[in-house]
A and B are shown apart, each in its own frame.
Chain A
Amino acid sequence: MPNLIDFRRRIRSVKNTQQITRAMKFVAAARLRRAQERVLAARPFARQILRVLQSAESRLEEAVHPLLVVRPEEKLLVIVISADRGLCGAFNTNVLRKTMEFLRENKSKQIELVAVGKRARDAMRRTRLPLKAELIGATMNVKFSDAKELAEMAVAAYTSGEADAVYLVFNEFKNVIMQRLVVDRLLPLRPEVVTPEHAETGGGHTTAGAPRRAEVDYIYEQPPKQIFDRLIPRYVETEVYRALLESSAAEHAARMTAMDAATRNASDLIDSLTLHMNKVRQAAITKEIIEVVSGAASAG
């Protein structure tokens, strides 16, 4: 029979764990709030750049840009965005599983990988596919410069012909308890991005719905073509930045949910342990009383 000391010890240890999970939950909640603010803060720029891009495009006879040219996909560059740390539920597992699925579907193609986050890096190493680059420590505190670097690498790989298409695999923040897995083609850009007739740009965040304003007679300080050509890479950067921000918000949300569940489980465990402990204690007391009573009876 387990004794009281054992129970007390276990309860104490579970309580300690609970304290940690509760603290982690609050930290994740605070980080989530900040991450969400940054997703919002990044929106005006994304919206405006798209609008300017479309307005420049509407002035061109033909919008041709190397990043818009679709080639048969034989060589792929896949950018996987995960977290650096665990303890966030199925967050990492999900994105990695999705990636593996994607890799299996495209087995026949030549694939290169870019890993963002430690978890992605570790998993991608195991695939034995070439790992072009890794970015660690970027998901906790997303910086635009990181996104820019990634975007530049993607653009370079695409324009040099090293890759025929660049894909992003990441968790999109849907709400606190839900993440949506996204496999997004970053390059070549979807043509509807620059042609505003299709106001829906697939990104979901660009609800600008800018009316086609070819009628506006702009003064172009530089030729429209040049502005257009320079805007496109900027746009790719904002897309990567958005993916990083989304993934970061989703990570914090996932961690918060996971830690909340863990805290609740610890509570349940403490309750049931306390109940058992009391039963054992009661049994011990009862046994002692019986011993005393029967001892007195036999003596009398």
Chain B
Amino acid sequence: MDLGKLSLEVVTPERQVLHEDVNFIQLPGLDGYLGILPGHAPLLTELGAGVLSFQKGGETRYATVLGGFAEVLANRVIILAERSELAEEIDLGRAEAARERALKRVQDKANQVDFERAQLALQRSLTRIQVAPRVSKRRSSTAPERDGNGKPPGASE
């Protein structure tokens, strides 16, 4: 039975990252990954930090998601991410530099004030590093977009 397609919409406060019809979505729920196929029951979940992947005509693409919410309703999936980037938008070099920085700060015992922030930054960069190499071979027509402030999305705060 053909249940049709899922309309996937990824939005962050700064921009719309993606709006596309796909066949399958895997999203990073707060309590573990969730797979969504067309015809899924209505669902509302909080998201953790992780990799969002979606399939479209045999091709799988990836994106990072860092916190937020997802709603599934009538073959429509809306992802309200706090941050999100498509794999092809990530600057791997920057992400790796950010990881180094964050790692140093996490290990810095003297300065525990920023520990939580550093840990978050570390998690962010690790997710990016995980996703960045998975750019689909068949480069999609959607050109990598820069995020709202003109900074490459791989940049860390």
Q: Which residues of A contact B (CB under 8 A)?
A: 38, 41-42, 44-46, 48-49, 52, 55-56, 141-145, 147, 216-222, 224, 226-227, 230-231, 234, 237-238, 241
Q: Find the residue from B16, B43, B150 having the highest chain A CB count within 10 A.
A: B16
- 18 further A-B contacts with Cβ under 8 Å, apart from A218-B43, A221-B34, A227-B69, are A41-B15, A42-B15, A44-B11, A45-B12, A45-B13, A48-B11, A48-B78, A52-B71, A55-B71, A56-B44, A143-B149, A144-B12, A144-B13, A221-B29, A221-B45, A221-B46, A226-B46, A230-B46
Q: Which residues of B contact A (CB under 8 A)?
A: 9, 11-16, 29-31, 34, 41-46, 68-69, 71, 73, 78, 80, 82, 148-150, 157
The closest CB in chain A to the CB of B29 belongs to A221
The closest CB in chain B to the CB of A145 belongs to B157
Question: Is A141 a contact partner of B149 (Cβ separation < 8 A)?
Answer: yes
Distance to closest chain B CB from A34 (angstroms): 9
Distance to closest chain A CB from B26 (angstroms): 14
Question: Is A221 a contact partner of B43 (Cβ separation < 8 A)?
Answer: yes
Question: Is B14 a contact partner of A42 (Cβ separation < 8 A)?
Answer: yes
Known: A48-B80, A52-B78. A219 touches B43 (CB 8 A): yes
Give Cα A38 to B14, complex, Å. Answer: 7
Give Cα A224 to B9, complex, Å. Answer: 22
Known: A44-B11, A145-B157. A49 touches B80 (CB 8 A): yes
Question: Is B45 a contact partner of A41 (Cβ separation < 8 A)?
Answer: no
The closest CB in chain A to the CB of B74 belongs to A216
Residues of A within 8 A of B31 (CB): 221-222
Distance to closest chain A CB from B60 (angstroms): 23
Residues of A within 8 A of B148 (CB): 38, 41, 142-144
Distance to closest chain A CB from B107 (angstroms): 24
Question: Is A227 a contact partner of B46 (Cβ separation < 8 A)?
Answer: yes
Contact of A221 among B12, B16, B44, B149 (CB under 8 A): B44
Give Cα A144 to B151, complex, Å. Answer: 13
Give Cα A55 to B42, complex, Å. Answer: 12
Question: Is A52 a contact partner of B69 (Cβ separation < 8 A)?
Answer: yes
Distance to closest chain B CB from A185 (angstroms): 21
Q: Find the residue from B12, B14, B45 having the highest chain A CB count within 10 A.
A: B14
Question: Is B45 a contact partner of A222 (Cβ separation < 8 A)?
Answer: yes
Distance to closest chain B CB from A49 (angstroms): 6
Residues of B within 8 A of A221 (CB): 29-31, 34, 43-46
Known: A45-B11, A45-B13, A222-B46. A216 touches B149 (CB 8 A): no
Residues of B within 8 A of A234 (CB): 68-69, 80, 82
Question: Is A41 a contact partner of B149 (Cβ separation < 8 A)?
Answer: no
Known: A217-B42, A220-B44. A231 touches B13 (CB 8 A): no
Give Cα A291 to B44, complex, Å. Answer: 97
Residues of B within 8 A of A143 (CB): 148-149
Question: Is B13 a contact partner of A222 (Cβ separation < 8 A)?
Answer: no
Residues of B within 8 A of A227 (CB): 44-46, 69
When A and B form their complex, which 6 residue pairs have the shortest distance between CB atoms, in order from nearest? A221-B45, A41-B15, A45-B11, A219-B43, A44-B11, A144-B13
The closest CB in chain A to the CB of B44 belongs to A218
Known: A52-B78, A219-B44, A227-B69. A44 touches B149 (CB 8 A): no
Question: Is B13 a contact partner of A241 (Cβ separation < 8 A)?
Answer: yes
Give Cα A91 to B73, complex, Å. Answer: 44
Give Cα A141 to B78, complex, Å. Answer: 27
